[in-house]
Structure 1
């Protein structure tokens, strides 16, 4: 039996909102005045009535699971239950929503990195399975609006600390403590990006399930249309949260990178000074035990190159601490590496004083040190993909001069096909062969080569942000995943029980 939306139907005395299987002895109520007893003539003898007694119905409206004689013991079992369940009465939905958001609005709230997403998910799961279907779209939208409001406040607070314009911080003054301070200030934004992503995945599944249920309803029903619009608005709000937090994070991380990237082109990793600094850093790192979750230490790198790597390290620690989904983590670093590639390549092409074998070998060594560190941190594949053109350009400049002189345009273009004709021509034209040596004739491009293109890469060609559409990582069929969340769920259950008790006469309350 399945009631139409808004129909007054009861099943054994309990309001029925969704499809259920009738059993012999069930009592079905239609409207306010009609009761029907379901009998199956094939079943003999006829089973007794399954109508819920009044005092049992009252018990089911509280936080206690029905059917247990000892209500006090049942309450204690429910409050400490490890099941991913959070029962509540519809009239307490707004209070519960505010309680979840207000007490779990920062990464330091104590419930864990995905506490808001998990707690809202079990709340919505209960509403979608057991309460009036009209309630679920409202909870989706209200929760999305509350999250967006908090995130907008976080973005404003972050902007006050790190203004995007008229900054007094000069290039070259960015140090490791400054990078770590930026990373710390980005934690709330990364926290909500991660939670909004998980909620978006969960919301999408719930909305799809609701759409399947609504297929049985009358087409064009204005109530269902309004509910669908509400769900769409909730999804759009979470989309906004993810996009804005992503943009803020990558903007400020790339802004920091911009000041540190030239070190990769200018640092001589073979100088005695850099070697001494490298040894000092290695000695300072000896005996220090790496904490769980930390990535390889960059103290063995030349100090200026280590400053660049520190941005990647802090970004990786941020994403891990926030339990950011793998697709969004990949996109975050994809953008950082795209920016690294584009910025360094444009700077390299602009500074033709670097077009020599000796300088290219230094750059190649620094680049390899960074790529090796990224490989050890599990980011090697993404880095190689987005920094491919920079590597190809540096490899070109690393070709020994004697071999380069003997090469032709056709062979060089074939070996370095990622370089556009304009870029290859620019490199060959300005290559430092010597004060009196002219470029060989074999370097001349054919007349058919298009040399009119811009030699610089465009920052507008960055990879687009692809919003997630994947299976939720939060599995509500499993027990509560952590002791921190168990503590918070127990607190919320106790809070809801308190709301129930406040509405009862003193002689009907259950004492813990």
Structure 2
């Protein structure tokens, strides 16, 4: 049996909103005045009624002390239950939403990195399975709006601490403590990016399920159309949250990177000074136990290069702490490595004083140190993909001079096909062969070669943000996943029970 949307139907005394299987003995209510008993003539003897009708109730059962004890035990079992269930009455939906959001709005709230997403998911799951279908779209939109309000406040607060305009920070002012301070201030944004991503995946599944249910309703029903618009708006609000938090995070991380990247081009990893600093850093790190979840430290790197790696390290720790989904983590680092590649390559092409074998070997060594660290941190594949052109350019400059002067344009272009003709021509014409030595004639490109292209890479060619559309990681068929969440779910169940009790006469309340 399946009621149409808005139909006043009860099943064994409980309002029925979705399809259910009738069993012999079930009592079906239609409207306010009609009750029907479902019987199957093939079943003999007839099973008892599944519902005790009001005139059949035994007064002794309503006041029996044992009945009260049973209710108390059932309540205690539910409050402490490890099941991913949060039951509530529709009239308490707004109060529950506010309670979840207000008490779990920061990464330090105590419920864990995905507490808001998990708690809202079990709330919505209960509404979608057991309450009036009209309620679920409203909860989706209200929760998305509440999250967006908090995130906008977080972005404003972050902007007050880290203004994007009139920044006069010099390269020397960007230190490890400054990078760590930025990372700490980004935690709320990364926290909500992660939670909004999980909720978006969960919302999409619920909306798809609702659409399947609505296929049985009258096509073009204005109520259903309005509900679908509400769901679409909720999804759009979460899209906004993910995009804005992503943009804020990568903008400020790349802004910090910009001040530190020149060190990779200018630091001589072979100098005695850098080696001494490296030894001091390694000695300082001896005996320090690496904390769980931390990636390898950068004490073995030249100090200035280590400052650059610190940005990647803090970004990785941020994403791990927030339990950011793997696809979004990959996109975050893809953007950081795209920026690294574009910024360093443009600076390198602009500074032709670096176009020599000796300087190129230093740059290659620094770049390898960074790439080795990223490989150890599990980011090697993403880094290699996005920094390929920088690596190819540095490899070109590392070609020994004796071999380079014997090479032709055609062979060099074939070996370094990622470089555009304009870029290769620029490197060759400005290569430091010596004060009196002219470029070999074999370096000249064919007359038909188009050299008019821009030698610099465009920052506008960054990879687009692809919003998630994947299976939710939060499996509500499993028990509550952590003790922190168990504590919070129990608190919310107790809170809802308190709301129910406040509405009852004193002599009908259940004591714990």
Normalised-by-shorter TM-score class? over 0.9
Deviations 1:60-108 (A, max 9, x none): 9999999997011111111110000000000000000000000000000
Match of 2:100 in 1: 100
Q: Alignment partner of 1:61: what SS?
A: helix
1:63–1:75 CA contact under 8 A, matched in 2: no
Q: Which runs of 5+ in 1 are unaligned?
A: none
Distance 1:487 1:30 in 2: 41
Whole-Å separation in 2 of the counterparts to 1:478 and 1:157: 37
**Alpha carbons 1:61, 1:89 under 8 Å: kept:** no
Residue 97 to residue 57, structure 1, CA distance change in 2 (3 Å): farther
Q: Give 2:388's aligned residue.
A: 388
Q: Which runs of 4+ in 1 moved over 3 A?
A: 52-69
| Pair 64,344 (structure 1): closer, same or farther in 2 beyond 3 Å | farther
Aligned-residue offset at 1:449: 1.3
Alpha-carbon distance, 1:483 to partner: 0.4
Closer, same or farther: CA 138–37 of 1 in aligned 2, 3 Å: same
Structure 1 pair 65/85, CA: closer, same or farther in 2 (3 Å)?
farther
> Is the contact between residue 86 and residue 122 of structure 1 (CA under 8 Å) also seen in structure 2?
yes
Gaps of 5+ in 2: none
In structure 1, how many angstroms separate the alpha carbons of the residues matched to 2:63 and 2:366? Answer: 62
Q: In the superposition, relative to structure 1, how do residues 60 and 444 fare at CA in structure 2: closer, same or farther (>3 Å)?
A: farther
Distance in 1, Cα, partners of 2:138 & 2:377: 43
Structure 1 84/61 Cα, relative in aligned 2: closer, same or farther at 3 Å?
farther
Query: How has the CA–CA distance of structure 1 residues 159 and 202 changed in structure 2, closer, same or farther, with 3 Å as cutoff?
Result: same
1:345 matched to which residue of 2? 345
Q: Give the CA deviation at 1:171.
A: 3.2
Q: Residues 28 and 37 of structure 2 are in contact (CA less than 8 Å); yes or no, is this contact kept in structure 1?
A: yes
SS in 2 for 1:36: strand
Report deviation, 1:48: 1.2
Alignment deviations for residues 470-496 of structure 1 (CA, whole Å, 9 cap, x no partner): 000000000000000000000000000
CA distance in 2, matches of 1:328, 1:479: 26
Contact 1:179 1:314 in 2 (8 A): yes
Q: Is the 8 A contact 2:357 2:399 kept in 1?
A: yes
Aligned residues between the structures: 512
Q: TM-score, normalised by structure 1?
A: 0.97
Deviation track 1:405-448 (CA, whole Å, cap 9, x = no partner) reads 00000000000000000000000000000000000010000112
SS in 2 for 1:69: helix
In structure 2, relative to structure 1, the CA distance for the partners of 1:265 and 1:59 (3 Å cut) is farther
SS of equivalent to 2:10: strand
Residue pair 1:11, 1:28 contacting (<8 A) in 2 also: yes
Q: Decide which moves more: 123-132 or 30-39.
A: 30-39
1: distance between equivalents of 2:60 and 2:381?
54
Is 1:235 paired with 2:235?
yes
- 3-state SS of paired residue (1:10): strand
The CA deviation at 1:27 is 1.1
C-alpha distance in structure 2 between counterparts of 1:283 and 1:428, whole Å? 43
Q: What does 1:299-378 align with in structure 2 at a 5 Å threshold?
A: 299-378=299-378
Shift of 1:166: 1.1
In structure 1, the residue corresponding to 2:463 is in which secondary structure?
coil
CA distance in 2, matches of 1:380, 1:386: 10
Greater shift, 84-93 or 24-33, is seen at 24-33
* 1:59 Cα deviation from its structure 2 partner: 16
d(CA) in 1 for partners of 2:60 and 2:210?
25
Report the Cα distance in structure 2 between the residues aligned to 1:288 and 1:39, rounded to whole angstroms. Answer: 75
- Tell me if the contact between 1:429 and 1:439 (Cα under 8 Å) persists in the aligned partners: yes
Question: Is 2:151–2:189's contact at 8 Å kept on the other side of the alignment?
Answer: yes
Is the contact made by 1:87 and 1:126 (CA closer than 8 Å) also made in structure 2? yes
2:217 match: 217
Q: Is the 8 A contact 2:61 2:67 kept in 1?
A: no
Distance 2:65 2:95 in 1: 21
8 A Cα contact 2:29 2:36, kept in partner: yes
Superposed displacement of residue 52, structure 1: 4.8
Distance in 2 between residues matched to 1:212 and 1:74, nearest whole Å: 35
The change in CA–CA distance for 1:38 and 1:266 in structure 2 (over 3 A counts) is: same
> 1:342 touches 1:458 (CA, 8 Å); kept in 2?
yes
Question: CA offsets per residue over residues 150-201 of structure 1, 9 Å max, x none?
Answer: 0000000000000000124233310000000000000000000000000000
Q: CA shift at 1:58, angstroms?
A: 15
Q: Secondary structure at the match of 2:63?
A: coil
Conserved? CA contact 1:187–1:318, under 8 Å = yes
- CA pair 441-327 structure 1, distance change in 2 beyond 3 A: same
Quote the offset at 1:57 in angstroms. Answer: 12
Deviation at 1:50, TM superposition (A): 1.2
Contact 1:12 1:28 in 2 (8 A): yes
- Report SS of the residue matched to 1:68: helix
User: What residue in structure 1 maps to residue 266 of structure 2?
Assistant: 266
CA contact (8 A) 1:65 1:78 kept: no
Hey, what's the Cα distance between the residues in 2 that align with 1:264 and 1:140? 48
Once residues 292 and 65 of structure 2 are traced to their aligned partners in structure 1, the CA distance between those partners, rounded to angstroms, is: 41
Secondary structure of residue in 2 paired with 1:35? strand
Provide Cα deviations, 1:455-478, integer angstroms capped at 9, x if missing partner.
Answer: 000000000000000000000000
Query: Which region of structure 1 is more displaced relative to structure 2, 63-72 or 218-227?
Result: 63-72
Q: Given the superposition, is the C-alpha separation of residues 44 and 65 from structure 1 closer, same or farther in structure 2, using an over 3 Å criterion?
A: farther
Compared CA separation, residues 419 and 57, structure 1 to 2 (3 A): farther
3-state DSSP of counterpart to 2:36: strand
Per the alignment, do residues 204 and 54 of structure 1 end up closer, same or farther by CA in structure 2, a change over 3 Å counting? Answer: farther
Deviation per CA, 1:360-388: give whole Å up to 9, x if none.
Answer: 00000000000000000000000000000
- Do 2:3 and 2:17's aligned partners in 1 also have CA atoms closer than 8 Å? yes
Q: What SS is found at the alignment partner of 1:496?
A: helix
Deviation of the 1:37 alpha carbon: 1.2
C-alpha change, 1:510 and 1:290, in structure 2 (3 Å) is same
1:35, CA displacement in angstroms? 1.4
| 3-state SS of 1:70 partner | helix
Structure 1 pair 428–88 and aligned structure 2 pair: CA distance change class (3 A): same
1:58 & 1:242 partners in 2: Cα distance?
57
